[in-house]
Amino acid sequence: MKKYAKTIVSIGLAILLTFSSACIVFAETIFYYNGLLYTYLNNEQVSLYGADENKTDIIVPDLINGRAVVEIGNRAFMDNGTITSIDFSTASNLKRIGSFAFCNSTNLSGEVVIPGSVISIDTAAFQECTSLASVVFDAQSGFVPNQCFSGCTLLSNVILNDTVTEIGYNAFANCINLKYIEIPKSVTQISSKAFQNDTDITLGVYRNSYALEYAENNGIKYVILDPEPTEPPTEPSTEAPTDAPTEEPTVEPTQQPTQPVTEAPTEAAVFILGDANGDNSVDVTDATVMQRYLANMHYIDEKVIMHGDIDGDGEISIQDVTFTLRYLASIEIPYPIDQPTQNTQ
């Protein structure tokens, strides 16, 4: 009987000690700070684990208690309907965003800038963030993962950096407001379902790129961002020295300068910015005209050049073409395209 009693006491003490040890470990490894929940990964690193129910604006720090904040854990903010913004600007040590980390955070809005320190983003990290409007993907991961932004129904603007090489399955599926996205030349693989159900999307692609081939093979609208090859101008240039120097210099110095000076101020004193072909509207034709002009394949009347000079630097450049394409894709730009503008030149 005494033996039996001793055994019971021993077992009881063992359970009590085990339970106490577990409590101590838990208390040491999970903690709150400034409304955010963290967990220690080791003596030097911590993971952002969640937030209290009243936290609306999340600012990811670089350090907590002297330890680097290196990741946002799996499902850390999943189904969180409270947070409205996430700021990574101070997260210099962040390396990973876990799977489903912000999935179904329905009030996360505005712009999310994923920093260059991030080398890994897992599946569905921002899936169904239905209020998210803009994403700047600066991560070094090289991979936009499966379902990463799927179901982000208000997402309209995405910028991918040139470290991206692959866009995964359903990465931007069901993003019904995503009208335009530029695909860097670095991309060499895109899932056939990457833009599933994005019926009105246009891809910005480059010549001889994988993205151009992908768009053509999948029946997706696209615009080419780089100018046409410059081989065609080599033919006219051989004739120009023989004809143009003998006749044109004698006529143009006397007549051409006088005509734009007298006519341009009256005819083009007010013009529509972006209307490169002078038809009083801004559409994809204007972008094409500018591209052809840059490749020396199309001559634009000098009175109309100012129409296509979106950024006001005195010339038409590939940047003006890009601004026009972004305007057509309803991406906000800092210039009043499609608005009457007073000529000050």
For residues 43 and 192, state if they share a domain: yes
Share of the chain above pLDDT 70, in %: 74
Which of 204, 224, 244 is at the close of a domain? 224
Write down the pLDDT at residue 235.
Answer: 57
Give the mean pLDDT of 136-142. Answer: 93
For residues 213 and 286, state if they share a domain: no
What's the domain count of the chain?
Answer: 2
Residue 300 in 3-state DSSP?
Answer: coil
Asked whether residue 294 is assigned to any structural domain, the reply reads yes
Give the mean pLDDT of 315-340. Answer: 76
Which of 224, 255, 276 is at the close of a domain? 224
Give the mean pLDDT of 124-153. Answer: 96
Q: What is the average pLDDT score of the chain? A: 80
DSSP line for 1-59: -HHHHHHHHHHHHHHHHHHHHHHHHHHHHEEEETTEEEEESSSSEEEEEEE-TT--EEE
Q: Which has the higher per-residue pLDDT, 209 or 282?
A: 209
- The answer on pLDDT for 5 being more than 70 is no
Asked whether residue 332 is assigned to any structural domain, the reply reads yes
Write down the pLDDT at residue 17.
Answer: 40
- The answer on pLDDT for 272 being more than 80 is no
For residues 194 and 310, state if they share a domain: no
- The answer on pLDDT for 269 being more than 60 is no
* CA 271/CA 264 separation, integer angstroms: 11
The residues pairing with 57 across neighbouring beta strands, listed in sequence order, are 85
Write down the pLDDT at residue 1.
Answer: 47
* CA 44/CA 69 separation, integer angstroms: 9
Contact 167, 185 (CB under 8 A): no
Asked whether residue 211 is assigned to any structural domain, the reply reads yes
Asked whether residue 10 is assigned to any structural domain, the reply reads no
Write down the pLDDT at residue 240.
Answer: 52
Residue among 103, 105, 109 at smallest CA distance from 125: 103
Asked whether residue 105 is assigned to any structural domain, the reply reads yes
pLDDT band at 293 (very low <50, low <70, confident <90, very high): confident
Q: Which has the higher per-residue pLDDT, 170 or 321?
A: 170
For residues 42 and 148, state if they share a domain: yes
Q: Whose structure tokens read 């009243």?
A: 54
Contact 338, 274 (CB under 8 A): yes
Least confident of 2-6, 239-243, 269-273, 338-342: 2-6
pLDDT in tens, 151-207: 999 999 899 999 999 999 999 999 999 999 999 999 999 999 999 999 999 999 999
Using a 10 angstrom Cβ sphere, with 0-12 exposed, 13-18 middle and 19 or more buried, the burial of residue 4 is: exposed
Using a 10 angstrom Cβ sphere, with 0-12 exposed, 13-18 middle and 19 or more buried, the burial of residue 28 is: exposed
For residues 109 and 187, state if they share a domain: yes
Asked whether residue 131 is assigned to any structural domain, the reply reads yes
- The answer on pLDDT for 13 being more than 50 is no
For residues 278 and 216, state if they share a domain: no
For residues 313 and 277, state if they share a domain: yes
- Count of other CB atoms within 10 angstroms of residue 247: 9
Those residues whose C-beta lies under 8 Å from the C-beta of residue 261, and which sit 6 or more positions away, are: none
Asked whether residue 85 is assigned to any structural domain, the reply reads yes
Give the mean pLDDT of 138-152. Answer: 96
pLDDT band at 208 (very low <50, low <70, confident <90, very high): very high
Write down the pLDDT at residue 116.
Answer: 95
Q: Which has the higher per-residue pLDDT, 331 or 108?
A: 108
Q: Which has the higher per-residue pLDDT, 65 or 293?
A: 65
pLDDT in tens, 59-99: 999 999 899 999 999 999 999 999 999 999 999 999 999 99
Cα of first residue to Cα of last residue in the chain, in angstroms, is: 107
Give the mean pLDDT of 113-122. Answer: 96
DSSP letter (8 states) at residue 249: H
For residues 212 and 240, state if they share a domain: no
For residues 138 and 249, state if they share a domain: no
Q: Angle between the 318-328 and 284-294 helix axes, to the nearest 10 degrees?
A: 170
The residues pairing with 87 across neighbouring beta strands, listed in sequence order, are 59
DSSP line for 174-234: T-TT--EEE--TT--EE-TTTTTT-TT-EEEE-TT-HHHHHHHHTT-EEEE-SPPPSSTTH
For residues 218 and 241, state if they share a domain: no
CATH code of the domain in which 333 resides: 1.10.1330.10
Which of 163, 189, 224 is at the close of a domain? 224
Q: Which domain holds residue 62?
A: 27-224
pLDDT band at 283 (very low <50, low <70, confident <90, very high): confident
CATH code of the domain in which 144 resides: 3.80.10.10
Least confident of 233-237, 266-270, 291-295: 266-270
* Entry pTM: 0.62
For residues 36 and 67, state if they share a domain: yes
For residues 62 and 162, state if they share a domain: yes
Asked whether residue 277 is assigned to any structural domain, the reply reads yes
Write down the pLDDT at residue 281.
Answer: 79
* CA 275/CA 291 separation, integer angstroms: 13
pLDDT band at 327 (very low <50, low <70, confident <90, very high): confident
